[in-house]
Amino acid sequence: MYNPLSLEGKRIMVTGASSGIGRACAEMISRLGGEVVLVARDEQRLRQTLESLDGSGHEVHRFDLSDSDATPAWMKQVTLSGKVLSGMVHCAGIEITLPIKTMKFADYRRLMSINLDAAYALSKGFRQRNVGSPASSIVFISSVAAIKAMPGMIAYATSKAALYGLTRSLAVELVRDGIRVNCVTPGLVETEMKIQMDRKRTPEQMQAVRASHLLGLGTTMDVAHAVVFLLAETGRWITGSNLVVDGGYSIN
């Protein structure tokens, strides 16, 4: 039976695949027949993700994405076997909640190195010869913090907003290579990052956050569904776009 969401025969890299949205994306890609290249710093947790995947042909690669200069050459190594990438999902990211008066530049630079610089370096690596295939797709995971301001989120919101500018510019530049580039902007979903954020909020604040999502808080699979839509044939005519998946938070 015809399935426009099928990822059969596609090899897709997922960063931040050790947990949260990254793990959910990896699991969904595998269910749709794709081979997944799992990337994160924690190999043990990557192995746990690997055990949760359907199918075969998946790979685990431990790599520190804060080393942007080394990223393109490392991606060459990943595809030395001749198995080029059909897509890439950049889910890796960190969140620091601090007001500007107390945030140190070292914290700001560390956040930017993963959330934004890594996206640029991965894209540079992906477009190299024999790394990304024609008719392929890049998807960045942004955040609703980029479009709806919240206190203490200046660095995080800046990094995630910049991803959309990167998306649009790359979409224009990489179209000649047959590469589509899009962005998914989630609202608050149940992840380890959310748990860490919850510890910094009062019960009343958390209740207000929940109430502001018209459809309730989301799950990592809600985001993964949007990602695979952009990776598969269903996203063939979409590039340079930002798909907001936030349960109505940004319109409330």
Check if 156 is active-site. Answer: yes
* pTM attached to this predicted model: 0.93
The average pLDDT across 169-180 equals 97
Task: Report the alpha-carbon distance of residue 204 to residue 209 in Å, rounded.
Answer: 9
Per-residue pLDDT at 195? 57
Per-residue pLDDT at 63? 97
Catalytic entry in 108, 156, 164, 249: 156
**DSSP code of residue 62:** E
**Which CATH architecture best describes the domain 11-193+220-245?**
3-Layer(aba) Sandwich (3.40)
Residue range 31-85, pLDDT digits in tens? 999 999 999 999 999 999 999 999 999 999 999 999 999 999 999 999 998 899 9
The most confident of 24-33, 101-110, 202-211, by mean pLDDT: 24-33
Task: Report the alpha-carbon distance of residue 221 to residue 215 in Å, rounded.
Answer: 15
Place of tokens 């109430």: 211
- Whether residue 220 contacts residue 24, with contact meaning beta carbons closer than 8 Å, is answered with yes
Q: Collapsing DSSP states into helix, strand and coil, what is residue 198?
A: helix
Q: How many residues does the chain have?
A: 252
Structure tokens at 57: 């042909």
